[in-house]
Amino acid sequence: MLKKTGGASLLALCLLGLLKVAIFQEMISSSPIDFKSLHSQASDQNTILNKKSISHQSNAETQAASATSATSGKTSPLVMETLEGKKVNLSDVSGKTVFLNYFGSWCAPCKEEIPVILSYLKAHPPKNTEVLFIDAFYYEFSGKRDVQAFQASYDIPYPILLDKTKAFQKQFAIATIPTTVVLNPDGQIKSRHLGPVNEQWLAEQLP
C-alpha cells in the first residue's frame, strides 16, 4: 500500500513539473524578451554613470586649477616656526628669490632628493636667494625629534620650517611630497616642481 502511494506521489510531481514547463513555454512564446530593449537600458545606465564620473573628474580638475590659480599671485602672510622656535613670515622675505622645498623625514624620495639639492647649492651658491626647507610636520610620528634627526643625518645648513597646521600645504596647493616652489623677488610663484628635483631643473630655476 505504501509503495503504491509513493508511486502515485512521484507521478503527481512529474506531471506538475511538465505542467510548469508547458506554462513557461507559453509565456515565452506569447511575450518574448526584448533583448535590444534591455541592452538599450543598460547602455543608458552606463551613459548616466559615465556622465557622473566625468562630472566628478571635471569638478576635481576645476578645484585643482583654482588652487593653483590662487597661489599664482603674491605670497600671502604665512607664519611658521623653525626647529629652534623662531617665527618666520614668508611675506617678509621680499626682494630676493625664495627656494622652498616641502619634505617629510619619512619620505623615501625626499631622502634621495636632499643630497642632490645640497650638493648643487654648495657647488653653485645662488645669488640673492633665500633657501628654506618646510617639513610636513603634521605627519611626523615623533614630532621634532624626527625632523632634527633628518637635519643631522643630511647636515642641512638651511632653516627648516614646520608646517604644523597644513597652512603652507594649502596656500601652495601641495599635492605630493616632495614639492619644490620657487618665488621670484616680487613674491610670486616662478615655478613649481612635483617630486624630486634634479640638477638641470635647479640650474634653470635658481639665479
For the segment 87-135, what is each residue's pLDDT rounded down to a tens digit?
A: 999 888 888 999 999 999 999 999 999 999 999 999 999 999 999 999 9
pTM for this one? 0.65
The type of residue at 174 is I
1 versus 15: which is more confidently predicted?
15
d(CA 187, CA 72): 10
pLDDT at 101: 98
